[in-house]
Amino acid sequence: MIRLVWCLVVLGMLSFGCKSSAPTEPPAVEQPAPLREVASFPVGVALQARRLSSAPHTRAAARTFSSLTAEYEMKMRPLSSGQGVYNWEAADDLVSWARAQGMQIHGHALLWHESVPAWVENFGGSDHEFEEAIKEYITTVVERYKDDVVSWDVVNEAFDNNSGALRNSVFQKRMGDDYLARVFQYARDADPDVLLFYNDYGATYDANKRRSILRMVDDFQSRGIPIDGVGLQAHVTYTFPPLTSIQAMMDSIVVRGLKVHLSELDVRVNPNGDLTTLTPARSQAQKERVRNIVTAFMALPQEHRFGITMWGLIDPESWLIEFWGNPEWPLLFDANVQEKPAYDGFLEALQGR
């Protein structure tokens, strides 16, 4: 009997030892559904070409998004270093990568007063020659990407803050107050099928800028100048501007028969600089803000929902950190390229939850 008990004890110890030494797999973490598979409209991300060398970036971007905007490389300064001189490599890399992922491409931006190359700023010819050079630039760029780029921000931020006056840019000074209409027409002539957008910030809270943008749209439509949509940059905080203001501006675009693009969405959670780390409470507030904005966008008629584009992929690479000088976490992915609660808020809105 003693020998039998001893054997059972030994067998039990051996059995226990075998169990403890067997490798155990960590529990699988289920990823949330990709936004691109749930959304009924393009969900985009702005990337720089240098991010394409990072596998975590490309995996997350390709899995999550169905549209790509070049954050930098399709602006005039990086694209053209001299009249008739073009630097296509970085923009081409983004286009090729997006095509391989089955992503559509939104072109940003043909003209922007803060991305003017020296040859444009210091152009020595006549005003007529200046406009011919700008027309040639727009035509060359739009024609090069006409098989890949489905939409362009033709002009970015043409109106001043607060006053809503036409910005005193080199384009306005050399081409006159009606330059907006003419460059939209040049883009249309270069690609009859591409969608043309005007893009700006502040239209949801700056009454004068909003009035100027809508007045421009009305003028274009009365004269037959081509325009297909308005991009609202949607650089918002977790509390400002009020959702009703965002809804009102989107509705103003829709009633004019145009498409709405929430073109540069990010949600600041540290606008007052009171945080050094992202708190659970502020993260939850960001989630609710994203969900509410996407839900408001979903309420628009489908034919007017062009898309929503996040202005960046992961928090530490956001332009807002350097611009405002505060720690910030404004995007859908954290520093480890993991989905945040804000991602869940976006997804829940798409799913009607």
**Enzyme catalytic residues:** 157, 264
Q: Is 126 helix (H, G, I), strand (E, B) or coil?
A: coil
Count CB neighbours of 279 within 10 A. Answer: 14
> Peptide bond before 109: cis, by omega within 30 degrees of 0?
yes
CB 97 within 8 A of CB 55: no
Q: Where would I find the H helices in 50-88?
A: 55-64, 76-79
- Report the candidate in 142, 96, 100, 134 with the shortest Cα–Cα distance to residue 116: 134
Count of helices and strands (H, E) across the chain: 14, 9
> Peptide bond before 330: cis, by omega within 30 degrees of 0?
no
> Peptide bond before 241: cis, by omega within 30 degrees of 0?
yes
Q: Is 124 helix (H, G, I), strand (E, B) or coil?
A: coil
Q: Using only C-alpha atoms, what is the Rg of the chain?
A: 25
- Burial class of 302 by CB neighbour count within 10 A (0 to 12, 13 to 18, 19+): exposed
Distance CA 181, CA 195 (A): 15
